Amino acid sequence: MNVVVLGSGTDALVAGHLLARAGHRVTLLNEGLTGAKADDGWVAPAILEALGLGIQSGWADPWASVLLADGGTLDLWQDMTRTVESLRRVSPRDAGKWPDFCQRMAALASVFEEMYAKPPVNPMDVGLAVRVRRLGRQGMEDLMRVLPMPVAELLDDWFECDALKGALGAMGILHLQQGPRSAGTAFRLLHHHVGSPPGVFRPPRSNLGALLRASAAVETRAAAVARINVREGRVAGVVLASGEEMEAALVVSSLDPRRTLLELADAGWLDPQLARAVSHLRRRGVAARLFFKGQPQSLVVAPSLDYLERAYDDAKHGRVSSAPYLEARAVDNGTEVHFQYTPYAGGREIAEATRRLLPGLADAEPSVLGPRELEAREGWPEGQAYHVELALDQALWMRPLPQLAHYRTPIEGLWLCGPGMHPGGGIAGAAGFNCVRALLSHLSKRGKPPA
């Protein structure tokens, strides 16, 4: 049947290709966007198997060069013994604890790894309980304790080196309007660790998006959708910004749930309580993306947990962080910098603060995309890369809301699959994969769909 997939990210691409492989006529409407960089992340093997694809994926090595107070760097390597060597220079105590920490975190992340390539399981699920018990006493205690914890307390329990704690703590707050002392941020460290080998705490990058974009299996149109047509509670098609109407029995949206349900489809089809809950989804953008031409550079500026917390304090009161968390990454012809935190409409101070902290960047006129620009450029609502903030109350079986967590919406034929869905941003394509699996199983259960 005719399927329209909305969005430009990996989730949309994965969903589109899987639906095409299942024999549907798929049109992908990508709004003219070329694909969000935040889609990078771990690709579950099940997705590749389903797509019949092989990809290249990996990390920079060192995966993080962390700026130290004395101007030097602490290099964290994929090879654990090399990291231990690096750490020994700044803290022999931390060096001694590193392998143990890595093993413990990897064990916890493995629980999520299994959960992420599947629709979310209810926490009362018996299978989940059995899986958690398999972790053994140590693992179970870790899981119960770590999940709701502030990442700062977790790291303070283990380490003394501020730069190490800063670099790890940054994964707890990435794209989140919270600081490292906020409860629940330890879970996010694990989230971003999923799929990485022990000792690597940065999501990998892959060419999955590029491969899928290059494929011709799915018709892609650079058109924006203005409305999703709903008739008698069932999807009838979409209306493009140009006014053109397309009929479709299925619409799979990787756009954010709020926009999809309240703006594109008519909120009147939803239970008003649900519509209200959708309108309450938190999705504040907190980061800017900068690009400096010239000498490529890779550096993490997160010298301590307090530093990150103070950066957040600014954000809390609606200001651009005067001393932000930065993650500079060498790319082809320059350096791309993740800047956190900035409010929705950040100004010149973003570039100024970045240059001050990374004097090596020569470009006097870097490109600066704040949340407002990222919203326009990438379709991130309010500039939030994950569409729905990944906090404990909006994660797992609660993502984005318990009533929508299984990718299906109350509007027959309308499905959700973006980073706003389980497992969420930073995990490439899994929401698209999970959504299509749920969708196909729904169709086969329902029998022959109406034409």
Partner 1 sequence: MLKTTPFHERTSALCVSHAWRRWAGYVVASSYELSHEREYHAIRAAAALFDVSPLYKYSVRGKHAARLLDRVVTRNVLGAQVGQVLYTPWCDAAGKVIDDGTVARLGEDEFRMTAAEPNLRWLEANALGLQVTIEDVSASIAALSLQGPCSLAILKELGEIPPLKYFRLAQATLRGIPVTLTRTGYTGDLGFEIWVDRDKALPLWDALIVAGTPYGIQPAGMLALDVARLEAGLMLIDVDYVPANKALIEGQKSSPYELDLAWAVNLDKPHFVGRQALAAEKVRGPQWQFSGVEIGWEGLERLYADVGLATRLPATAWRASVPIYSGVEQVGYATSGGWSPLLKKYVTLAHLRAAWARPGTQLDMEVTVEHRRKRAAARVVKKPFFDPERKRA
Partner 2 sequence: MKPYDAVIVGGGHNGLVCAAYLARAGKRVVVLERRERVGGAAMSEEVFPGFRFSVFSYVVSLLRPEIIRDLELPRHGLHILPLESTLTPLVNGDYLAQWNDHDQNRRELARHSLRDAEAYDEFGLVLHQMARLIKPMLRMAPPDPASLHPRELLDTLNLGRYFRKLDKKDFNALWKLLTMSSADYLDEWFETEALKATKAASGIIGTLLGPRSPGTAYVLLHHYMGELDGVFRAWGFAKGGNGSVSAAIAASAQAAGAEIRTGAPVAQILIERERAVGAVLEGGEEVRGRIVVSSADPRRTFMDLVGESHLPEEFAAAIRRFRFRGASAKVNLALGELPSFTCLPGRGPHLRGAVSISPSIAYLERAYDEGKYGEFSRRPYMDIVIPSMLDPGMAPPGKHVMSIFVQYAPYHLAGGWTDERREALGDAVVDTLAEYAPNLKSAILHRQVITPADIERIIGLSEGNIFQGELSLHQMFFLRPAPAWSRYRAPIEGLWQCGSGTHPGGGVMGASGRNAAFRILGRRA
Residue numbers of the site for partner 1 (CB under 8 A)? 232-233, 262-263, 266-269, 271-276, 279
Closer residue to partner 2, CB minimum distance, 172 or 346: 172
CA atoms within 13 A on the CB side of 125: 12
User: Interacting stretch for partner 2, rule CB under 8 A, among 177-185, 243-251, 290-298, 378-386?
Assistant: 177-185
Q: Are 264 and 228 in contact (CB under 8 A)?
A: yes
By CB under 8 A, tell whether 258 contacts partner 2: no
Distance CA(75)–CA(97), nearest Å, equals 16
Out of 392, 438, 440, 443, the residue judged to bind partner 2 by CB under 8 A: 392
- State the CB neighbour count (10 A cutoff) for residue 60: 15
Closer residue to partner 1, CB minimum distance, 329 or 442: 442
Closer residue to partner 1, CB minimum distance, 266 or 314: 266
- Distance from CA of residue 173 to its chain's centroid? 12
Query: Residue 367: enclosing H or E segment and its boundaries?
Result: strand 367-369
Q: Are 31 and 280 in contact (CB under 8 A)?
A: no
Strand intervals (E) in 161-301: 205-206, 219-221, 225-231, 234-240, 245-247, 250-253, 287-293, 299-301
Would you give the binding string for partner 2 spanning residues 263-292, x where CB under 8 A is met?
Answer: -----------------x-x----------
274 binds, among partner 1, partner 2, none (CB under 5 to 8 A by kind): partner 1
Closer residue to partner 2, CB minimum distance, 336 or 389: 389
User: Interacting stretch for partner 2, rule CB under 8 A, among 69-77, 102-110, 213-221, 306-314?
Assistant: 306-314
Give min distance, CB of 263 to partner 1, in A: 7
Give min distance, CB of 127 to partner 1, in A: 29
Closer residue to partner 1, CB minimum distance, 338 or 406: 406
Give min distance, CB of 382 to partner 1, in A: 17
Would you give the binding string for partner 2 spanning residues 317-356, x where CB under 8 A is met?
Answer: x---------------------------------------
Long-range CB contacts (< 8 A, 24+ apart) of 258-266?
Answer: 258/283, 258/381, 259/381, 260/6, 260/228, 260/409, 260/414, 260/416, 261/409, 261/411, 261/414, 264/6, 264/225, 264/226, 264/227, 264/228, 264/238, 265/227, 265/228, 265/230, 265/409, 265/411, 265/414, 266/230
Distance CA(249)–CA(443), nearest Å, equals 12
Query: Residue 438: enclosing H or E segment and its boundaries?
Result: helix 430-446
Closer residue to partner 2, CB minimum distance, 46 or 128: 128
267 binds, among partner 2, partner 1, none (CB under 5 to 8 A by kind): partner 1
Closer residue to partner 2, CB minimum distance, 148 or 347: 148
Closer residue to partner 2, CB minimum distance, 151 or 417: 151
User: Interacting stretch for partner 2, rule CB under 8 A, among 175-183, 202-210, 285-293, 362-370?
Assistant: 175-183
430-446 and 10-21 helices, crossing angle to 10°: 30
By CB under 8 A, tell whether 181 contacts partner 2: yes
Distance CA(335)–CA(337), nearest Å, equals 6
Q: Which of 260, 301, 280 is nearest to 389 (CA)?
A: 280
Pairing of strands 367-369, 219-221: unpaired
Strand intervals (E) in 147-285: 205-206, 219-221, 225-231, 234-240, 245-247, 250-253
Closer residue to partner 1, CB minimum distance, 278 or 358: 278
- State the CB neighbour count (10 A cutoff) for residue 271: 10
Closer residue to partner 2, CB minimum distance, 126 or 451: 126
By CB under 8 A, tell whether 144 contacts partner 2: yes
332 binds, among partner 1, partner 2, none (CB under 5 to 8 A by kind): none
The amino acid that residue 402 corresponds to is P
Distance CA(158)–CA(160), nearest Å, equals 7
Give min distance, CB of 442 to partner 1, in A: 18
Out of 313, 349, 363, 375, the residue judged to bind partner 2 by CB under 8 A: 313
The amino acid that residue 429 corresponds to is G
Would you give the binding string for partner 2 spanning residues 113-142, x where CB under 8 A is met?
Answer: ---------xxx----x---x--xx--xx-
What residue ranges bind partner 2 (CB under 8 A)? 122-124, 129, 133, 136-137, 140-141, 144-149, 153, 157, 178, 181-184, 280, 282, 306, 309, 313, 316-317, 391-393, 397-398, 402
